Amino acid sequence: MSKGILAVDNRGKRELGADKLVGWDEVTQGIVLTSFEGDAANIASLKAEERTYSDFNSYTATVASWRVIKPIYNRDICIDCQNCWVWCPDSSIISRDKQMLGIDYDHCKGCQVCVEVCPTNPKSLLMFVEAEEIETALAQWPEKKKN
Amino acid sequence: MAITSIKNLKEFSTNNDRFEGAHTLCPGCAHSMIVRELMNCTDDNLVIAANTGCLEVSTAVYPFTSWDTSWIHIGFENAATAVTGSEAMYRARKKKGTLKDPNAPVKFVAFGGDGSTYDIGFQWLSGAMERGHDFTYICLDNENYANTGGQRSSSTPIGATTSTAQAGSASYGKKEKKKDIVAIMAAHGAPYVAQLAPNKWKSMAKGFQTALETEGPCFINTVSACCTEWRFDPKDTIHITDLATDTLMFPIYEIINGHELNILYRPKNVVPVEEYLNAQGRYKHLFKPENKHVIEKIQSDINEYWDKLQRREEARI
């Protein structure tokens, strides 16, 4: 956990991030969690890789264990329409400079919405079992369907 | 610097996400699509409050927060109160000159589910609208109390089965009609009130931007398909929302200053409501022969409401 006094209770000061975490039932005045280390004034202008996320930000956590199937992305077919980006519920489609770069497997829950909204033929995103290697998945990509 | 218009999705995708992943909303939940879109359609600083509901408990699981902006975890009913309080303090401090950066653009937003908007927080919301604070209230309408196990709310449509209005041999599910929250909010004389859906991302982003830019209390009702309680496969969230807008179950429209109604989406082919109902487990029982009259009732309600909207749009009243 990160440094800084973030929770104070009536029985004396206790630091969140000290040896012992403050339990949710021990807090009487509420907790302030900071999303970033240091100044967060221009966060909207920074890309994820330029930000200094604090340990409290869920960006540093993962929900990869929720998945049993995962989407795999085929760059060769993608037309960068960004449908998957706008409808991904887990902010897991990585798009930079109008280009789709790939999938953030730390935060993807495998809901398959991106595959459903993909307009290309064949789809540029397909679901595979979690253990599938990306190379073998790309090798068995389906051919273009003729109506 | 506010983003004033979004031409296409490619341009939209250059915005940096301020709603982080690894929240614990269900896979395929439309809540996070809507929240992401709100936070991507503006560069301004946001002060956000959320009523208790799926969104609140899933995005602030101690010790994590998924919000890259100021965000407060508040009671079931009072996100509108908390955010309007912040707005009042912001204005007072601006007047006194005690703000660190008085020129930084700040927008105030409250999120609530349909339980906290239509039912529990209704009085607080109505009060905040009446006081005329400069804020935007967004209702994530998934038509039930999904966080606590799918109880009926006053937003649940007629015929849906919920854990407290169950369909069975004696009942076809909820018997009452859905509350028309958009009309109620428009009747407060709010400068901007709208009903939007995440599948129509462009009208949604535009609606959000209009609401944020408009001075005064704005209300937006958004359709948030709930794969868990509506009982459909998570991958179909956008498909179900498409059906909801194309069957006119959820017409997309805005009301400006309480009387200028504009319909924002007219489906080319209006789909019969059976298709929307058939795609969800919560309406399965309606397809038994004895419940046929409920489907007819839903369809006639939709037709009537659509007719009313069109007449209101024409008459500007």
C-alpha pair distances (Å), B172 with each of A36, B88, B240, B294: 50, 47, 22, 8
Question: Does A101 share its domain with A50?
Answer: no
Q: Is residue A51 a part of any domain in this protein?
A: yes
Instruction: Evaluate the CA torsion angle B43, A45, B198, A91 in order and state its sign.
Output: negative
Question: Does A128 share its domain with A106?
Answer: yes
**Which residues does chain B have within 8 Å of residue A115's beta carbon, measured at their own beta carbons?**
235
Q: Is residue A86 a part of any domain in this protein?
A: yes
Helices H / strands E in chain B, number of each: 11, 8
When divided into structural domains, chain A yields a total of 2
B234 to chain A: closest CA residue:
A111
We report the CATH number of the domain holding residue A125 as 3.30.70.20
Q: Is residue A146 a part of any domain in this protein?
A: no
Question: Does A51 share its domain with A81?
Answer: no
Question: Does A45 share its domain with A85?
Answer: no
**Shortest distance, CA A41 to any CA of chain B (angstroms):** 8
- Across the interface, whether the CB atoms of B66 and A106 are under 8 A apart is answered no
Q: pLDDT 10s per residue in chain A (147 long)? A: 444 444 444 344 445 555 566 666 666 667 788 899 988 888 888 999 999 999 999 999 999 999 999 999 999 999 999 999 999 999 999 999 999 999 999 999 999 999 999 999 999 999 999 999 999 999 999 998 877
Residue B171 is given by DSSP the state: -
Question: Does A15 share its domain with A68?
Answer: no
- Total beta-carbon pairs less than 8 A apart between chain A and chain B: 149
- Assigned token pair, A110: 């495998």
Question: Does A75 share its domain with A126?
Answer: yes
Residue B202 pLDDT:
93
Tens digits of residue pLDDT in B287-312: 999 999 999 999 999 999 999 999 99
Q: Is residue A147 a part of any domain in this protein?
A: no
Listed in sequence order, the DSSP H helices in A10-141 are 83-87, 113-117, 134-139
Residue B115 pLDDT:
93
- Across the interface, whether the CB atoms of A113 and B238 are under 8 A apart is answered yes
Boundaries of domain holding A123: 62-139
Which residue in A120, A84, A115 sits closest to A99, CA to CA? A84
- Residue B65 phi, psi dihedral angles, 5° rounding: -130, 140
**Which residues does chain B have within 8 Å of residue A33's beta carbon, measured at their own beta carbons?**
60, 62-65
Question: Does A53 share its domain with A4?
Answer: yes
List the domain boundaries for chain B: 9-315
Q: Is residue A144 a part of any domain in this protein?
A: no
Question: Does A23 share its domain with A79?
Answer: no
Residue A26 pLDDT:
67
Q: pLDDT 10s per residue in chain B (317 long)? A: 456 678 889 989 999 999 999 999 999 999 999 999 999 999 999 999 999 999 999 999 888 999 999 999 899 999 999 999 999 999 999 999 999 888 888 999 999 999 999 999 999 999 999 999 999 999 999 999 999 999 999 999 999 999 999 999 999 999 999 999 999 999 999 999 999 999 999 999 999 999 999 999 999 999 999 999 999 999 999 999 999 999 999 999 999 999 999 999 999 999 999 999 999 999 999 999 999 999 999 999 999 999 999 999 999 88
State the burial class of residue B239 (Cβ atoms within 10 Å of its Cβ: 0-12, 13-18, 19+). Answer: middle
**Which residues does chain B have within 8 Å of residue A4's beta carbon, measured at their own beta carbons?**
none
Q: Which amino acid is at A74?
A: N
Residue B165 is given by DSSP the state: B
ipTM summary value? 0.91
Of the three residues A34, A61, A88, the one that is the final residue of a domain is: A61
**Which residues does chain A have within 8 Å of residue B104's beta carbon, measured at their own beta carbons?**
41
Residue A81 pLDDT:
93
Q: Is residue A27 a part of any domain in this protein?
A: yes
Of the three residues A45, A61, A77, the one that is the final residue of a domain is: A61
Question: Does A52 share its domain with A79?
Answer: no
Q: Is residue A3 a part of any domain in this protein?
A: yes
Mean pLDDT for chain A? 84
Residue B92 pLDDT:
95
Q: Are A89 and B28 in contact (CB under 8 A)?
A: yes
A71 to chain B: closest CA residue:
B235
Tens digits of residue pLDDT in B107-128: 999 999 999 999 999 999 999 9
Question: Does A80 share its domain with A53?
Answer: no
At the topology level of CATH, where does B9-315 sit? Rossmann fold (3.40.50)
Instruction: Evaluate the CA torsion angle B20, B24, B29, B31 in order and state its sign.
Output: negative
Question: Does A124 share its domain with A71?
Answer: yes
Residue B244 pLDDT:
96
Question: Does A34 share its domain with A96?
Answer: no
**Shortest distance, CA B196 to any CA of chain A (angstroms):** 15
**Which residues does chain A have within 8 Å of residue B34's beta carbon, measured at their own beta carbons?**
none
- Across the interface, whether the CB atoms of B67 and A110 are under 8 A apart is answered no
> Given B67, B201, B237, which is nearest A113 (Cβ)?
B237
- Across the interface, whether the CB atoms of B238 and A87 are under 8 A apart is answered yes
Of the three residues A61, A81, A96, the one that is the final residue of a domain is: A61
- Across the interface, whether the CB atoms of B33 and A48 are under 8 A apart is answered no
A47 to chain B: closest CA residue:
B16
Residue B87 pLDDT:
95
Q: Is residue A145 a part of any domain in this protein?
A: no
